[in-house]
Amino acid sequence: MENNKKLQKKLSPTHVWAIAFGCIIGWGAFVNPGKKFLPNSGVFGTAIAMALGAMVMFIIAYAYAYMVPKNPIAGGEFNYTKKCFGKAPAYLCGWFLIAAYLTNVPMNSTAIGLIVDGLDGTADILKWGFHYSIAGFDVWAGEAIFASAILIIFGWLNIIGVKKAGFIQTILTSLLAISVFTLTIAAIFSSKAQWCNIQMPWGFDRAAALEASVSGEALKEFAKTGPQGILSAIMATFAIAPWAFVGFETIPQVAEEFKFSHNKVMLIMGIAILFGAFVYIANNTVAAIAVNNWPDRVMNGEWVLLIAAEEMLGIFGKILLGIAVSCAVLSGIMGFYLASSRLMYAMARDGYLPKSFSKISKKNGTPVNAMLFCIVISLSGPVLGREALGWFVDMSAIGASIGFFFTCASTIVTMNRDEDSRFRYKCLAALGCLFSLAFIELQLVPIEGMKGVHFCKQSYLMFAIWCLIGFAFFIKQRKYFIND
């Protein structure tokens, strides 16, 4: 390995779309219809929130499409911020982007055991060996070993070459898209999926219902109604749009490896965002119209979308959903490995992280040390369990929003420097800045009457810890950051 090697230009437009789409859609798109979307926002609230979220992502994507051709190197937002605002803001941006990207890898790995558990019925084929619980989540040796093996294999695939990783990512995301489209079409023509099944279209207060220990018809007392209830329903899901769509902005992280024109970025991002919005809305709607008593299923903590697929198509539906969610998890691991390692490589190349992370494999042309570090960190996922990691992953939306803000702000600064008078781009970038700040506020600041929007107390604690770790590193390296 040597430092003077460069990343290889091996990625096609299809590979890059697959990376973005694979990062956008993960396990959450399949489990959250029952866990968050339906109770918090219902069918209508979720559809409106995701459509609005996609529109905002389109606005922000214009800033990325403007900046990538001007800075076609690994690091994306980190590089834009450094050139426009200096080292300290660039460090802030990069630090929180690492949280946004890298935490999604171990989080996806914890879903592997849940997928097998949901699909194997009562067989429990991975529930063997040592067993313990963290924050109410059961960790089994079999699940931990299997998930760790997946993490190592996909990390190795990233190390042996970006073209191979891109090819596998394309296969996974294609299968994911085909499976979701098939399930949606089946729902349209199925006699078991009826619009009259929709109950509480704007969701209900699940926490209050659980506290009152009610079910069935009594749940309607907790339904969200009226202007404030409807607004709360929409905002509960709209607030996490950065989390839901985090991944389209991973494209700049691999910009140095494009073998095509960087001017195609907007088209690729736009298609990935559209596909992402479709999957979220389709999965949520299918779950609601195919299960006539979904509120009770939600209260029981059941996998509502799996129930819907099985009730409509029998074992084929179960297999179809298994393929879709497995591909979503694996493509998420692959995509966020790529994004995390390239960001760390870029930061190390500029001195923000240990120089060893900037080393490129002479044989494979990949940042092997950065990838090895990502693998080691990700192996914590199967050991810590999903609930503990979930508190940390809540910061993904914050990290993505910070990246959005600095990219949009950098676009305005760059346009002013270059005397670029295109008014539309400046307006879109300014709107992107405002939306990004709004997302950060919605996540961090509790708003009366809007439950389920802001962080839980454990997430606040994880956020504080991440800030303190970052600040400690900043103080240690303060001479470097201050001396531009």
3-state secondary structure of 452: coil
Where residue 36 falls among pLDDT bands split at 50, 70, 90? confident
User: Is residue 221 a part of any domain in this protein?
Assistant: yes
Where residue 243 falls among pLDDT bands split at 50, 70, 90? confident
User: β-strands 137-140, 131-134: how paired?
Assistant: antiparallel
User: Is residue 138 a part of any domain in this protein?
Assistant: yes
Q: What are phi and psi of 102, to 5 degrees?
A: -65, -35
Task: Provide the residue type at 338 as one letter.
Answer: L
User: Is residue 95 a part of any domain in this protein?
Assistant: no
* Contacts of the segment 478-482: beta carbons below 8 A, 24+ positions apart: 480/87, 480/351, 481/87, 481/88, 481/91, 482/87, 482/88
Where residue 207 falls among pLDDT bands split at 50, 70, 90? confident
In the chain, what percentage of residues exceed pLDDT 90?
A: 39
Whole-number pLDDT of residue 55: 95
Q: Is the pLDDT assigned to residue 276 strictly greater than 50?
A: yes
User: Is residue 450 a part of any domain in this protein?
Assistant: no
User: Tell me: the pLDDT tens digits for 79-132?
Assistant: 999 999 998 899 899 988 988 888 888 888 888 887 888 777 777 788 888 888
Whole-number pLDDT of residue 343: 92
Calpha distance 366→360 (Å, rounded)? 5
Calpha distance 477→455 (Å, rounded)? 30
Calpha distance 227→113 (Å, rounded)? 41
Q: Is the pLDDT assigned to residue 261 strictly greater than 50?
A: yes
C-alpha distances (whole Å) from 316 to each of 13, 14, 274, 308 are 32, 29, 27, 12
The overall average pLDDT reported for the chain is 86
Q: What is the CATH number of the domain that holds 224?
A: 1.20.1740
Where residue 218 falls among pLDDT bands split at 50, 70, 90? confident
What mean pLDDT do residues 407-414 have?
96
User: Is residue 102 a part of any domain in this protein?
Assistant: no
Whole-number pLDDT of residue 482: 63
Task: Give the residue with greater pLDDT, 174 vs 446.
Answer: 174
What mean pLDDT do residues 338-342 have?
91
Domain range for 254? 13-74+107-386
Task: Give the residue with greater pLDDT, 191 vs 339.
Answer: 339
What mean pLDDT do residues 422-434 have?
92
Read out DSSP for 36-74?
Answer: IIHHHHHHHHHHHHHHHHHHHHHHHHHHHHHHHHHS-ST
Whole-number pLDDT of residue 390: 63
Task: Give the residue with greater pLDDT, 451 vs 446.
Answer: 446
In the chain, what percentage of residues exceed pLDDT 70?
A: 93
Task: Provide the residue type at 391 as one letter.
Answer: W
Whole-number pLDDT of residue 210: 85
Q: What are phi and psi of 131, to 5 degrees?
A: -150, 135
Whole-number pLDDT of residue 425: 87
Where residue 5 falls among pLDDT bands split at 50, 70, 90? low
Q: Is the pLDDT assigned to residue 1 strictly greater than 60?
A: no
User: Is residue 241 a part of any domain in this protein?
Assistant: yes
Using an 8 Å Cβ cutoff, are 110 and 385 in contact? yes
Task: Give the residue with greater pLDDT, 47 vs 439.
Answer: 47
Instruction: Look at 27-36, 191-200, 223-232 and tell me which has the smallest mean pLDDT.
Output: 191-200
Q: Is the pLDDT assigned to residue 241 strictly greater than 90?
A: no
Calpha distance 333→316 (Å, rounded)? 26
Strand partners, 133: 138
Q: Is the pLDDT assigned to residue 334 strictly greater than 80?
A: yes
Give the number of domains in the chain.
Answer: 1
User: Is residue 61 a part of any domain in this protein?
Assistant: yes
Q: Is the pLDDT assigned to residue 435 strictly greater than 70?
A: yes
Calpha distance 43→34 (Å, rounded)? 11
Where residue 139 falls among pLDDT bands split at 50, 70, 90? confident
Nearest to 16 by CA among 311, 305, 279, 257: 257
Nearest to 148 by CA among 118, 116, 105: 105
User: Is residue 250 a part of any domain in this protein?
Assistant: yes
pTM across the whole model: 0.89
Task: Give the residue with greater pLDDT, 196 vs 108.
Answer: 108
Where residue 2 falls among pLDDT bands split at 50, 70, 90? very low
